[in-house]
């Protein structure tokens, strides 16, 4: 059987379809890059914003139009709206999040223990979802009750995967040639709290670094309240990428309280300071929501000023959208869409300025880049694109295809979203 896999949304969704890929391959099936050739399409949906839910529906319709024989849908949007998902053309089955880790054995009608063998080596997914980085699911669900978040409703309570399972997935990625793995979760920083033995995410990170030969390890989004100064000692191992994504959501203390976030601007700034003082060149990126219910002009200005003061290396700005079932959707003081969009533009401008300032400090320096794509050029060899450990996007020309290799590069020309670089064979 030929299987097409695709996803909308977060890195956790990406890690899940990579797990499906390994299981389908273990069962003897072929992965394809084009739904027109697929006997089965599996779409992992997202519901974090109204736009993500819309993208999920569009993705499902797209594979149907392109001729996939049948489509199976899973993920957050289809879990929250199973009726709507089932009604879309071509959808033969909806598998809700509580069963999504068993999706492949359910579809193939095989016992789960059939997949408990030594995992096959990881291979990048064909097509647009091809990634040199391996996304490794370490945790799922969330026990926080942020008032804007629908993910808790869709994913359920926090659950940690045992160290041995995570290590096995990382080792499969290394055996498949992955140069970098990304530990992912809905609330990754809570890893270990449900496993007993006083475990913390730092223990998982230490185990991965100790027990594998992985060249690079990266952490996905972490809530700031899960970290302390001691956590940053992990970066004494140079294989841990110098990049943290810490969702702030708002720089206003009053807005954060309405969001039920377990931090304050002062606490957040303290963590930022500790990270930067203990880890040289640390890139810290963030998420910001603008137009949250009740956000006054003063609160928005407070948030804007705080974000500017933090000098983030980049980030995402989300225009608040009410999600059915969340507390924020029922709050008074819903902000008009035109105002939300205006605030989004202002916040994006501040983040763009601070990102450019962060990048400028690396102009002329030599950093190691993992090449994630290589495009053949007629006369000049290959045009490469990849990321440094601190998440700077770099492009360069090379006489040979260096895809999935890590090489030193001198950053020579700063561009809007990254750098143009020059390969350094010796330096």
SS3 425: coil
Does any domain span residue 174? Answer: yes
The answer, yes or no, to whether residue 130 has pLDDT greater than 60, is no
Q: What are phi and psi of 12, to 5 degrees?
A: -65, -40
Q: Are residues 284 and 378 in the same domain?
A: no
Q: Is residue 217 a contact partner of residue 173, using CB atoms and an 8 Å limit? A: no
Closest of 15, 29, 26 to residue 118, by C-alpha? 26
Tokens read off for 106: 């359910």
The answer, yes or no, to whether residue 77 has pLDDT greater than 60, is yes
Of 122, 140, 157, the last residue of a domain is 122
Q: Are residues 118 and 145 in the same domain?
A: no
Alpha-carbon gap, residue 49 to 319, rounded angstroms: 9
Low-confidence winner among 158-172, 193-207, 365-379 (lowest mean pLDDT): 365-379
Arithmetic mean of pLDDT, 375-402: 90
Q: Are residues 136 and 174 in the same domain?
A: yes
Alpha-carbon gap, residue 108 to 112, rounded angstroms: 10
Mean per-residue pLDDT over the chain, rounded:
92
pLDDT band at 379 (very low <50, low <70, confident <90, very high): confident
CATH of the domain at 281: 3.30.750.200
Q: Where are the beta strands (DSSP E) in 112-158?
A: 133-137, 139-140
The answer, yes or no, to whether residue 45 has pLDDT greater than 80, is yes
Pairing of β 283-290 and β 243-245: parallel
pLDDT band at 2 (very low <50, low <70, confident <90, very high): very high
Check residue 140 and give its pLDDT.
96
Does any domain span residue 263? Answer: yes
Residue-wise pLDDT for 88-105, tens only, equals 999 999 999 999 999 999
Residue-wise pLDDT for 209-252, tens only, equals 999 999 999 999 999 999 998 999 999 999 999 999 999 999 99
The answer, yes or no, to whether residue 117 has pLDDT greater than 70, is no
Does any domain span residue 90? Answer: yes
The answer, yes or no, to whether residue 374 has pLDDT greater than 90, is no
pLDDT band at 314 (very low <50, low <70, confident <90, very high): very high
Q: Are residues 114 and 1 in the same domain?
A: yes
Check residue 115 and give its pLDDT.
66
pLDDT band at 424 (very low <50, low <70, confident <90, very high): confident
Of 313, 344, 361, the last residue of a domain is 361
Alpha-carbon gap, residue 405 to 386, rounded angstroms: 10
Check residue 275 and give its pLDDT.
96
Check residue 426 and give its pLDDT.
58
Does any domain span residue 235? Answer: no
CATH of the domain at 384: 2.40.50
User: What contacts 172, CB < 8 A, 6 or more positions away?
Assistant: 22, 119, 120, 121, 122
**How far lies 310's CA from each of 45, 49, 273, 287, in Å?**
33, 25, 9, 13
Check residue 111 and give its pLDDT.
84
Check residue 380 and give its pLDDT.
72
| Residues above pLDDT 90, as percent of the chain | 80
Q: Are residues 103 and 181 in the same domain?
A: no
Q: Are residues 355 and 311 in the same domain?
A: yes
Q: Are residues 91 and 43 in the same domain?
A: yes
- State the total domains in the chain: 4
The answer, yes or no, to whether residue 427 has pLDDT greater than 60, is no
Check residue 116 and give its pLDDT.
62
Check residue 310 and give its pLDDT.
98
Does any domain span residue 64? Answer: yes
Of 122, 142, 175, the last residue of a domain is 122
Pairing of β 243-245 and β 159-160: unpaired
SS3 110: coil
Residue ranges making up the domain that contains 190 = 132-221
pLDDT band at 112 (very low <50, low <70, confident <90, very high): confident
Q: Are residues 351 and 385 in the same domain?
A: no
Does any domain span residue 127? Answer: no
Q: Are residues 86 and 143 in the same domain?
A: no
Does any domain span residue 232? Answer: no
The answer, yes or no, to whether residue 127 has pLDDT greater than 70, is no
Alpha-carbon gap, residue 57 to 61, rounded angstroms: 6
Please give, one letter per residue, the 3-state secondary structure of 353-385.
HHHHHHHHCCCCCEEEEEEEEEEEECCCEEEEE
Check residue 335 and give its pLDDT.
97
Pairing of β 393-398 and β 381-388: antiparallel
Number of Cβ within 10 Å of residue 84's Cβ equals 14
Check residue 128 and give its pLDDT.
52
What is the DSSP track for 70-88?
-EEEEEHHHHH-HHHHHHS
Q: Are residues 169 and 215 in the same domain?
A: yes
Number of Cβ within 10 Å of residue 345's Cβ equals 11
Low-confidence winner among 128-142, 250-264, 290-304 (lowest mean pLDDT): 128-142
Against a cut of 0.75, is the pTM above it?
A: yes
Q: Are residues 103 and 148 in the same domain?
A: no
Closest of 217, 241, 170, 231 to residue 19, by C-alpha? 170
Does any domain span residue 243? Answer: no
Query: Residue 297: exposed, middle, or buried by beta-carbon count in 10 A (0-12, 13-18, 19+)?
Result: exposed
Q: Are residues 199 and 86 in the same domain?
A: no
The 8-class DSSP code of residue 35 comes to G
CATH of the domain at 214: 3.30.750.210
The answer, yes or no, to whether residue 278 has pLDDT greater than 80, is yes
């Amino acid at each position: 059987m030929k299987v097409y896999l695709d996803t909308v949304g977060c890195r956790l969704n990406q890690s899940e379809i990579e797990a499906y890929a390994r299981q389908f391959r273990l069962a003897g099936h072929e992965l394809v890059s084009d739904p027109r050739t697929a006997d089965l399409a599996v779409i992992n949906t997202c519901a974090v914003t109204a736009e993500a839910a819309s993208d999920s529906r569009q993705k499902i319709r797209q594979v149907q139009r392109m001729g996939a024989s049948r489509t199976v849908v899973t993920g957050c949007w289809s879990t929250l709206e199973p009726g709507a998902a089932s009604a879309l053309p071509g959808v033969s089955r909806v598998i809700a999040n509580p069963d999504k880790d068993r999706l492949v054995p359910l579809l193939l009608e095989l016992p789960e223990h059939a997949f408990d063998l030594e995992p096959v080596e990881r291979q990048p997914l064909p097509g647009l979802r091809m990634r040199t980085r391996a996304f490794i699911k370490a945790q799922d669900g969330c026990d926080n009750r942020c008032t804007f978040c629908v993910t808790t409703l869709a994913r359920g309570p926090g659950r940690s995967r045992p160290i041995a399972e995570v290590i096995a997935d990382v080792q499969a990625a290394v055996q498949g040639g992955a140069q970098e793995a990304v530990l992912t979760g809905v609330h990754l920083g809570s890893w270990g709290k449900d496993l007993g033995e006083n475990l913390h995410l730092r223990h998982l990170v230490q185990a991965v670094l100790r027990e594998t030969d992985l060249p690079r390890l990266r952490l996905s989004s972490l809530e700031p309240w899960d970290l302390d100064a001691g956590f940053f000692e992990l970066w004494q191992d140079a294989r841990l990428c110098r990049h943290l994504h810490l969702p702030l959501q708002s720089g206003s203390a009053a807005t954060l309280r309405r969001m039920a976030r377990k931090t304050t601007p002062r606490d957040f700034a303290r963590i930022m300071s500790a990270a930067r003082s203990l880890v040289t060149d640390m890139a810290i990126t963030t998420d910001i929501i603008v137009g949250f219910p009740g956000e006054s002009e003063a609160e928005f200005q407070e948030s804007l000023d705080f974000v500017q003061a933090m000098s983030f290396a980049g980030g995402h700005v989300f225009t608040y959208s009410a999600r059915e079932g969340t507390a924020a959707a029922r709050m008074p003081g819903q902000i008009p869409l035109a105002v939300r969009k205006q605030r989004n533009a202002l916040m994006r401008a501040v983040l763009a300025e601070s990102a450019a300032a962060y990048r400028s400090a690396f102009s002329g320096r030599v950093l190691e880049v993992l090449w994630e794509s290589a495009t053949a050029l007629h006369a000049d060899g290959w045009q490469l694109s990849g990321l440094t450990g601190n998440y700077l996007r770099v492009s360069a020309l090379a006489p040979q295809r260096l895809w999935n290799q890590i090489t030193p590069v001198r950053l020579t020309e700063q561009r809007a979203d990254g750098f143009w670089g020059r390969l350094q064979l010796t330096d």
